[in-house]
Amino acid sequence: MKFASIILARGGSQGVPNKNKLDFCGKPLVSWTIEQCIESGIDKDNIFVSSDSQSILEIGKEYGVGSILRTPEVSGNNATSELSWIYSINYLKKRGFNYDWIFAPQVTSPIRESSDIKNGLRMAESGEYDSLFSAHQTDQCPLWKRNKDQLESIGYDYKNRKRRQDNDIQYIENGSFYIFKPDSIEQFNNRMYGNIGIVKMDRWKSFDIDSIDDFKLCSLIMREYLLEKNDNLIL
């Protein structure tokens, strides 16, 4: 089976301006995702940075991966990821590239390892699933919502609260990556469809950068859990 990785990394950002190319633990944020894709075994010829920013595309070129220049219509604040992926897939098809699966990592979720990606690719190759997403497992998810003037619990009865160990296991979609088939996302306009698989990841890898505080927190986690571990392996 042939995989392509399409890395969406637009130039604009509302929460953190230019965050995809900001320095994150010593290199541009987008670089971490590019390197993880390469380390997972996806061939550089099948890795593509998709962006409306030439400076971000240049970062990809430094690694020897492909570039997809997106138009403003599929890169603005109102453009969905689905729209950007479909645009990128059609861009590649017009140039003779055809793939069985698309591996779609999120640049703003850099705390992952190549082993997480390899696990997802193996699950896709198994033939059991039509699409997959990364998630972490939890037995605690006490969510609430406001309905007009009242609060309502979601997914559990606060009047009959269970012990934590008696709760059902749930999975929280962490946004680190998605895996889907090119023709199917075009057909359904959705990254998930059919028989959906979950690629389980550790909870500490499930943080997304949407603000300056997120940026600082993820930097600390990256240094504490991944960079320090790799340094110890080298030693």
Give the closest residue to 196 by CA, choosing from 178, 169, 215, 217: 178
CATH, domain 3-133+173-234, list 1.10.3720.10, 3.90.1170.50, 1.20.120.610, 3.90.550.10: 3.90.550.10
Whether pLDDT at 201 is above 90: yes
Whether pLDDT at 235 is above 70: no
CA distance 25 to 28: 8
Q: Give the least confident one: 54-63, 64-73, 162-171.
A: 162-171
Domain boundaries, the chain: 3-133+173-234
Strand pairing report for 131-138 and 196-200: parallel
pLDDT digit string (tens) for 143-196? 888 888 888 887 777 778 776 676 678 899 999 999 999 999 999 999 999 999
Instruction: Classify burial at 193, counting beta carbons within 10 Å of its beta carbon; exposed 0-12, middle 13-18, buried 19 or more.
Output: middle
Q: The whole model's pTM is what?
A: 0.89
Which position has the higher pLDDT, 117 or 1?
117
Question: In the 3-class helix/strand/coil scheme, how is the chain assigned residue by residue?
Answer: CCEEEEEECCCCCCCCCCHHHCEECCEEHHHHHHHHHHHCCCCHHHEEEEECCHHHHHHHHHCCCEEEECCHHHCCCCCCHHHHHHHHHHHHHHCCCCCCEEEEEECCCCCCCHHHHHHHHHHHHCCCCCEEEEEEEECCCCEEEEECCEEEEECCCHHHCCCHHHCCCEEEEEEEEEEECHHHHHHHCCCCCCCEEEEECCHHHCCCCCCHHHHHHHHHHHHHHHHHHHHHHHC
CA distance 40 to 114: 5
Q: What per-residue confidence (pLDDT) applies to 28?
A: 97
Mean pLDDT score, 125-131:
97
Instruction: Classify burial at 114, counting beta carbons within 10 Å of its beta carbon; exposed 0-12, middle 13-18, buried 19 or more.
Output: middle
Mean pLDDT score, 193-209:
95
Backbone dihedral angles phi then psi of residue 189, each to the nearest 5 degrees: 55, 40
Q: Which residues contact 101 (CB under 8 A, 6 or more apart)?
A: 1, 2, 3, 4, 121, 124, 179, 180, 181, 182
Q: What per-residue confidence (pLDDT) applies to 166?
A: 67
Q: What per-residue confidence (pLDDT) applies to 74?
A: 82
Whether pLDDT at 232 is above 80: no
Question: What is the share, in percent, of the chain residues with pLDDT greater than 90?
Answer: 73
CA distance 3 to 101: 5
Using pLDDT thresholds of 50, 70 and 90, give the confidence band for residue 229. Answer: low
Using pLDDT thresholds of 50, 70 and 90, give the confidence band for residue 76. Answer: confident
